[in-house]
Structure 1
Amino acid sequence: MHPENIAHWAKERGPRILLVIVAALFLLLFLRLSTRRIARTVVRSRRGDRSEGTGRADTLAFSFQSAARVLIVVFGVLLVLQEAGVDIKTVLGGAAIIGVAIAFGAQDLMKDYFSGFLILLEDQYQLGDLVTISGVTGTVESVNMRVTVLRDLEGRVHFMPNGNIDHVTNRTYAWGRPVFEVPVRFDENVDRVMEVLVEVAKELSEDPAWKGATIGEPDMLGVDKFTDYGIVIKFMVKTQPDQLFPVRREMLRRIAKRFNELGIQITVPQRLIVRDGPDGEPL
């Protein structure tokens, strides 16, 4: 190619190519500086009563930043080629074929990433939440764009691809609430039993060792049902998300101890087994 032609080409198309490159670099810089801040603002506005954290926002920001960076680079390269005089229709045709092949081969992976993005955006669960996913109950140890990691009570770790998650039960979203069903004998004074249960719950909330574990006053529902072995009294206590099971265990311990002190009997189902003796008479 003649030097004069190169000089003419550079003079004719060089400024526009340079402008495209500068614009792409500016967009990449703006994306890098603003994405995390925008993501954290969105997370704070949607979080409500849940504790503020940066892990979910940073994951969202990284995912959006990666996708946007690819788009900016691809469009920037196409615009540069167009300004350089290259027929981009041929390039787009080949890229489309390659893109379809990649999309077909990685559709499950893209499904995982898209589902993970929605899980993080909607704040369905976060680290430390107790959830049930696909019949597996455990504490969320990690959540990212592709996989959610649960650890069950026995310490087993379950890796759940986000694309396979179609139903989530979050037992500790913002707060927890253990429900107590206490069976007592028919001849017990139920009003007295309910007062004792409320008193035990209030003592727990006022205990310095359990300060802040419970939220508000206990909710006494009263007599819930009659059974073959006694009367069932139901009440609930609202707790912090990570205190549901500790509060439940401590409440049961205190209820058993107080009932023993006051002579209140907790009833359980009983089974009577009758056996025939050698002469056919029941023993």
Structure 2
Amino acid sequence: MEINFSSISNNILVHIAIIILVAFLLHFFSDTIVSYFIKVLTRRQKDQTKTDAKKREATLTSIFSTVAKLFIWTVAIVAILDAINLNISSIAAGAGVVGIIVGLGAQTTIRDYLAGVFIILENQYRVGDVITLSGGSTGMTGTSGTVEDITLRITKLRGLDGTLNVVRNGEASIITNRTFKFANIVIDIGIDYKSDIDVVENIMNKVGQDMMKNEKFLHNIFEPISFLYIDDLSDSSIIVRAMGKVKPAEQWEVAGEYRRLLLKAFNEANVKIALPQVVVHKEN
């Protein structure tokens, strides 16, 4: 259907200008409006940490801001077409036929959108989480990183080396979330067989308790890192295991500091870290 632009009156042009202006204003303020309503609707629950609540809020805001902007411009386009007396029903009918044709070839995209809906509803991961995505029909072996953005179709992961990976939501069948509610630190250390195991246990527990008193780590540790058990008696060392519970995403920094302090404490107490030993038999 051809549009006779010469027949469009000044009133209609003003009407269209107002529609576009309102759409731009709503688009500009949509993030703020959506963020406000998300905060009201997702008040922090009793079993949620402050960090978890913020991640959930950021994720939902990102999703619904995109949906809101799409809705705003869809309504604006329909209103403009109506203002110039274009037959919307005939366009809708034609679009329906095209939609069926496109839909038959877009099953993968539909699957991605459905997967995105379940990711959001089930709170599988949020913006800011550190996750690994693997499995799926493509046989993805494991893509890891920090979630930078989630839409209904894709998830953007920023790797430790700065690489940005864009993964379709329907592509992964296994989701490993390393920063959900809490994280456990598990540290295995090999010590010399001549070491006094009771002394080792006391040192490991004291280092963990001292970290709980450190202002830097006080609010990041739920349960202090402490001696758990002797995990193995290997060829050249006693493998002792320590474990603690910390805030999500804090496990790497806390574990690194614990190892540093433990090494200093072992050196002061003359507890030796075991080194690999090789026995060489010399034949005459």
Q: What RMSD over aligned residues (CA atoms) do the two structures have, in Å?
A: 3.4
CA distance 1:238–1:196, change in 2 (3 Å): same
The C-alpha deviation readout for 1:188-237, integer Å capped at 9, x for no partner, is 22122111101001111211232312113334322222111122111112
Higher strand share: 2
Partner of 2:123: 123
- Count of aligned pairs: 237
Partner of 2:245: 238
- By how many angstroms is 1:49 displaced? 3.4
Please tell me whether the aligned partners of residues 215 and 239 of structure 1 are also in contact (alpha carbons under 8 angstroms): yes
% identity of equivalent residues: 25
TM-score by length of 1: 0.69
CA distance in 2: counterparts of 1:95 and 1:192, whole angstroms = 76
Partner of 1:251: 258
> Are 1:61 and 2:68 counterparts?
no
Please tell me whether the aligned partners of residues 145 and 160 of structure 2 are also in contact (alpha carbons under 8 angstroms): yes
CA distance in 1: counterparts of 2:274 and 2:49, whole angstroms = 39
Aligned AA (2:181): A
CA distance in 2: counterparts of 1:153 and 1:170, whole angstroms = 15
- By how many angstroms is 1:185 displaced? 2.1
Any stretches of 5+ residues in structure 2 without a counterpart?
Answer: 1-29, 77-86, 135-141
Any stretches of 5+ residues in structure 1 without a counterpart?
Answer: 1-31, 74-85, 276-280
Partner of 1:115, secondary structure, is helix
TM-score by length of 2: 0.69
Please tell me whether the aligned partners of residues 186 and 231 of structure 1 are also in contact (alpha carbons under 8 angstroms): yes
Pairing partner for 2:234 from 199, 217, 227 = 227
Aligned positions of 1:1-40 closer than 5 A: 40=39
CA distance 1:115–1:63, change in 2 (3 Å): farther
Partner of 2:15: none
When Rg is computed on C-alpha atoms for both structures, the one with the higher figure is 1
> More deviation in 57-66 or 182-191?
57-66
Aligned AA (1:169): T
Aligned AA (2:247): Q
Higher helix share: 1
- By how many angstroms is 1:255 displaced? 0.9
Please tell me whether the aligned partners of residues 39 and 60 of structure 1 are also in contact (alpha carbons under 8 angstroms): no
CA distance in 2: counterparts of 1:91 and 1:253, whole angstroms = 68
CA distance in 1: counterparts of 2:239 and 2:229, whole angstroms = 9
The C-alpha deviation readout for 1:93-127, integer Å capped at 9, x for no partner, is 76653331121233322222221121122221122
Aligned AA (1:239): V
CA distance 1:131–1:91, change in 2 (3 Å): closer
Please tell me whether the aligned partners of residues 35 and 61 of structure 1 are also in contact (alpha carbons under 8 angstroms): yes
CA distance in 2: counterparts of 1:49 and 1:197, whole angstroms = 28
- By how many angstroms is 1:168 displaced? 0.7
CA distance in 1: counterparts of 2:62 and 2:251, whole angstroms = 28
Aligned AA (1:204): M
Partner of 2:133: 133
Aligned positions of 1:98-109 closer than 5 A: 98-109=98-109
- By how many angstroms is 1:37 displaced? 6.9
